[in-house]
Amino acid sequence: MNATLAWFARVVGASVRVELSKGLHAQLILGVLIGPVSSAIYILMARQLGRTDATVYVVLAPMMLGMWGTAITTSGEAVASERGEGTLELLIAAPAPAALVAIGKILTTTTESLLAVPLTLIIAVALGMPLAIEHPGHFAVALAALTLSTAAVGLLFASVFVLARSTRLFQNVIGLPLWILSGVAFPLALLPDSIRPLSALVALSWNAAVLRASATALGPWWWFGLGAAIVLSVVYFVLGARLFVGVERRVRVDGSLSTF
């Protein structure tokens, strides 16, 4: 068992090395820039409206959306590029689970997407709306949890993208409802009662809440919120890995692995 786990770790490591060797690709650069640039727009709007109380939303929301958006985009692009390069079939034919290669790729791009955090904070300072982080330790922990959920959602969607021929269409269709359900850019209380319970299933909604609280005031629910975000991320990971196996079986049956 330990030998198998060590092998799995080596496969993930090999995938990370390959991804790093490729350098920062256009999708990632775009994803990293979207957060800070969007923040700049919202900061300027908030300043014009005199809403300095909205700092935590206008600075953090685009950053989080940027990270999750990058995860969904890059996982889709990763699958599309494997398909385009003709390596997807070879990955399936190899003894190692193909999901491990996907995990390595997604971990790399997720970690790289953290570049959006300092960029966003710097822009907030430059535009005269600095975000004072009241609890830096908690903020760092919350950021780590956000990274975990970002990677998990990336894996979840990567498995769907193996099945989908048009990954870009799925990226756009999936992303927008998630942003609404996550309540990243507004308090969840604004959502209709019938929809609000669904937000509890979106890890990003918990990530957003604990990250905002770390920057402003910690509530008694903070640890619960962090735990919920981590548990949901683990569920996404397990679900993503199982889905990957199911999808692999299906594409072997319908022969759609190399079709575009």
Partner 1 sequence: MAAISVRDLRRTYTSTVGLLRTRKVSREALRGVSFEVERGELFGLLGPNGAGKTTLVKVLATVLVPTSGSAAVLGHDVVTATPEVRKRIGLVFGGERGLYGSISGRDVLEFWAALYRLPSGTARQRAAELLELVGLTERANDKVWTYSRGMKQRLHLARGLIANPEVLLLDEPTIGLDPVAAREMRQIIRQLKERGTTIFLTTHYMAEAEALCDRVAFINDGLISLVERPRVLTRLVSELRHIDAELVSTTGNDLAERLRGLGGVQDVVSTAGADGVVSLAIKTDESGYGPALALLAAAQPISVTTREPTLEDVYLRLLGERGMRV
Q: Which residues bind partner 1 (CB under 8 A)?
A: 7, 10-11, 13-15, 17-18, 21-23, 85-87, 89-96, 101, 252-255, 257
Least distance (Å) between residue 108 CB and partner 1: 13
Nearer to partner 1, 148 or 257 (CB): 257
Nearer to partner 1, 7 or 186 (CB): 7
Least distance (Å) between residue 47 CB and partner 1: 42
Nearer to partner 1, 96 or 234 (CB): 96
Nearer to partner 1, 169 or 231 (CB): 169
The total of other beta-carbon atoms located within 10 Å of residue 196's CB is 15
Chain CA centroid to CA 136, Å = 22
Nearer to partner 1, 86 or 192 (CB): 86
Least distance (Å) between residue 96 CB and partner 1: 4
Least distance (Å) between residue 114 CB and partner 1: 22
